A = this chain, B = another copy of it.
Amino acid sequence: MRDADGSLIDDDKSVWFQGRATWMLATLYNTVEQKPEWLEGARLGYDFLSQKCFDSDGRMFFHMTRDGQPIRKRRYFFSDTFAVIAYAAYAKASGSPEVAEQARELFGKCIHYAAHPEIFPPKGTSVRPAKGLGIPMIMLNTAREVMNTIGDPRCQGVIDNCIEEIRKYFVKDDIRCVMEQVAPDGSIIDHVDGRTLNPGHAIEGAWFILNEAKLKGNDPELIDLGCRMLDYMWERGWDQEHGGILYFRDVYDKPVQEYWQDMKFWWPHNETIIATLLAFVLTGNEKYAKWHKMVHEYSYSHFHDKEHGEWFGYLHRDGTPAQSAKGNLYKGPFHLLRQEWYCMQLLQEKG
């Protein structure tokens, strides 16, 4: 965790970021340039993950001390999915069949977790069951990264199922919306939590699907699905008054319970920069070029720290920074780097 100038705020470690940073370094090595320091960084991440971050039940922790003692485990398996993509990318970078096998084994566990949410200690009772957009999104991304690196026969099936799950249950064409959670049958849960939308997250899901469209030779149905998701959530998320993507919205425009709902977080902007560029490349629709310029200009004029580099994480609705930290348990070397890497590759492909 680091302040604006890079000084250390806290030496604790986030398991998410061990996985995400390892993935990023190995991916740069695999796709951009074989720099030894990137491979070495990925190796250090892999070592810490594999030696320190697993509990005795095979699940991963969330928050560690610097030397690898566990502080907290959570009732989600995102740590585990980020370790899968880290292992898979590092297996490719290092050429290690053992690491590839470990990636496959952990990927299998994640497939099992996603199909059996009852494994995890429940947050609520069984009175009002719900399912979230996060699970099919993270599994789609995890399977895609495994497929891109070490390959696995399960990947395409996971990808297809996740897209179908999102299309069938979460995308609501009648009200032009992507829900963040729904009842098991896909109906809207008309209470505060059920109505809460996360436009930046849904837009991230939109580009995951547009990316699949591109890899399937510009599949028109997937392009249409991804663009609808982007359109709906740009309409709901873009702040007409101050610019930028609002963090939460209510599906019926009622007040959102989370008090910080109108803040601007860095990562929805990274995801929207990718989604709008990719939508423009795939469709040629000038609307997406215009949106891309709007979100790119907003982001680099508000989040970018011109003095010390990198981005601030959290702005007030009016665009002023809410604090100076560059990194914490939730913000690390991932969304901004992935945006720059993905957009660079996309623009290079197009020449």
A residues within 8 Å of B by Cβ?
A: 1, 3, 9-10, 12, 61, 63, 65, 69-73, 121, 123-125, 127-128, 191-192, 254-257, 259-263, 265, 313-314, 316-318, 322-325, 328-330
- Output the least CB separation between A69 and chain B (Å): 5
Which of B9, B65, B123, B191 interacts with A192 by CB under 8 Å?
A: B9
Distance in angstroms between the alpha carbons of A313 and B261 in the assembled complex: 13
Q: 18 A-B contacts, Cβ less than 8 Å apart?
A: A10-B191, A65-B128, A69-B125, A71-B124, A71-B128, A72-B125, A255-B324, A255-B325, A259-B263, A259-B313, A259-B314, A259-B323, A260-B263, A261-B322, A262-B322, A316-B316, A316-B318, A317-B322
Out of B69, B124, B256, B317, name the residue touching A72 (CB < 8 Å). B124
**5 further interface pairs, Cβ-Cβ under 8 Å (given A61-B125, A65-B128, A257-B329):** A9-B255, A69-B127, A259-B260, A260-B260, A262-B322
Tell me the complex Cα distance, A10–B193, Å: 10
Cβ distance A242 to chain B, nearest Cβ, rounded Å: 12
* Contact between B125 and A323, CB atoms less than 8 A apart: no
Copies assembled: 2
How far is A217 from B242 in the complex, measured between Cα atoms in Å?
Answer: 55
Contact yes or no, B128 A192, CB < 8 A = no
Q: How far is the CA of A61 from the CA of B71 in the complex (A)?
A: 27
Closest B residue by C-beta to A191: B10
Determine the chain B residues whose CB is within 8 A of the CB of A257 once the complex forms.
1, 325, 328-330
Contact A10 B323 (CB under 8 A): no
A61 to chain B, nearest CB (A): 8
A322 to B256, CA, bound (A): 10
Give the distance to chain B from A274, nearest Cβ to Cβ, in Å.
22
The 6 closest A-B pairs by CB, nearest first: A255-B325, A260-B260, A259-B314, A72-B124, A255-B323, A69-B127
> A313 — which chain B residues lie within 8 A by C-beta?
259
**Distance of A189 from chain B, by nearest CB (Å):** 11
Q: Which residues of B are found within 8 Å of A121, using beta-carbon distances?
A: 121
User: Which chain B positions have C-beta within 8 A of A65?
Assistant: 127-128
Give the chain B neighbours of A265 by CB distance below 8 A: 259
Contacts of A254 on B, CB cut-off 8 Å?
A: 3, 9
Rounded to whole angstroms, the CA-CA distance of A265 and B322 in the bound complex is 15
Interface centre among A65, A128, A261 (most CB of B within 10 A): A128
Partner of A317, one of B73, B316, B325, B329: B316
**Chain B residues near A128 (CB-CB < 8 A):** 65, 71
List of B residues within 8 angstroms of A262 by Cβ:
322-323
Is B260 a contact partner of A125 (Cβ separation < 8 A)?
A: no
